[in-house]
Amino acid sequence: MFEPSSDVSLFFRRENGPPAAVRLVVTVPTFRRPQQLVETLESLRIQAPGLPFAVIVMENDAEGGAGATTARNFMEHHGLDGLVVIAHQRGNCHAYNAGWTAALAHYPGLEALAVIDDDELATPGWLAGLLAAQAVTGADLVGGPQEPRFEAGRRPDLARHPVFSPAYASSGPVPILYSSGNVLIRRAVLDAMPRPFLDPLFNFIGGGDSDFYRRCKARGFRFAWSAEAAVVEAVPARRMQADWIRTRSLRNGAISAMLEHRAAPGAAGRLKTLAKSLALLAASPWRGIALWRRTGLAAAAPYHLQVALGRLMAEAGIVGEQYRHPEKN
């Protein structure tokens, strides 16, 4: 049974049956997006994964609480099985950790945990697709595409930009995953990984999921991709602006350097990472031209340069906290 703490409290619980019967939990972190949260929960309500599942909403705005109230009202009205918990410490890693810990504590029969963000809509076959891919591949973690839905239908060409395009094109085993916005994780992974699952160091930078996957891979867990298990991610107008895309590209580079430092923390490792960053910087003009030709998108051409610069900025300790001010993200 979930036990509240100073960091996480239980706001609401609805049980349509014994918690031990639940085999799958979908966790939804939320922060000041109550209307979008309703749409996300509605897309979960129509899922038919073929086994009993519950939903855990993790409110990360302890002061406002609009997401918690919205989730409670939705669960009451639609009879959705699950919990609403409040993660009192700000940051997406804290929210994820709160939900994953609550799932393990409250649902003893848990076999797998899925994640979707509060700005995403699950396609009708989302959960079934993730589970099918896991069954076919035997992977421990299965990801799927986050298809962008641009506000007011503007700039659909940006879907070809690396910031918005999926990591893989086809289903099957893959080396690793990068995003937690669409993923299925077997319970064995959560049982084996130390807590906190996501390192709070990445709370406002992003990349806590990538760091988690890197550590999972080091422990021998396997990954797969389901191209059919898509979610649709809302992209507001501000994320179509060149400065936001540039900031996200720099951040991607910084995170990659940080993860390499963690994998090889000594002086030799740092020199290797620095050498790689410089090599990527030197190659970036040609890689940018190739990306432009491949995507037909001129706005994508600076991406590799920006990633390389982000890596070098991380070497100097300069890492932008893009999630620090959510109204600008």
pLDDT at 3 over 90: no
**pLDDT for position 153:** 65
Which residues lie closer than 8 Å to 266 by C-beta, 6 or more apart? none
pLDDT at 74 over 80: yes
**pLDDT for position 200:** 94
pLDDT at 1 over 90: no
Mean pLDDT confidence for 188-200: 97
Mean pLDDT confidence for 256-285: 93
Mean pLDDT confidence for 53-70: 97
pLDDT at 233 over 80: yes
pLDDT at 205 over 80: yes
pLDDT, tens digit, for every residue of 30-57?
999 999 999 999 999 999 999 999 999 9
Q: 329: pLDDT confidence band, cut at 50, 70 and 90? A: low
Mean pLDDT confidence for 12-21: 95
**pLDDT for position 179:** 92
pLDDT, tens digit, for every residue of 89-142?
999 999 999 999 999 999 999 999 999 999 999 999 999 999 999 999 999 999
pLDDT, tens digit, for every residue of 78-92?
999 999 999 999 999
**pLDDT for position 323:** 72
**pLDDT for position 319:** 83
Instruction: Return mean pLDDT, the chain.
Output: 94
pLDDT at 213 over 80: yes
Enumerate domains of the chain plus CATH numbers: 8-237 (3.90.550.10), 242-328 (no CATH)
pLDDT, tens digit, for every residue of 288-327?
999 999 999 999 999 999 999 999 999 988 887 777 776 6
**pLDDT for position 320:** 76
**pLDDT for position 328:** 65
**pLDDT for position 208:** 94
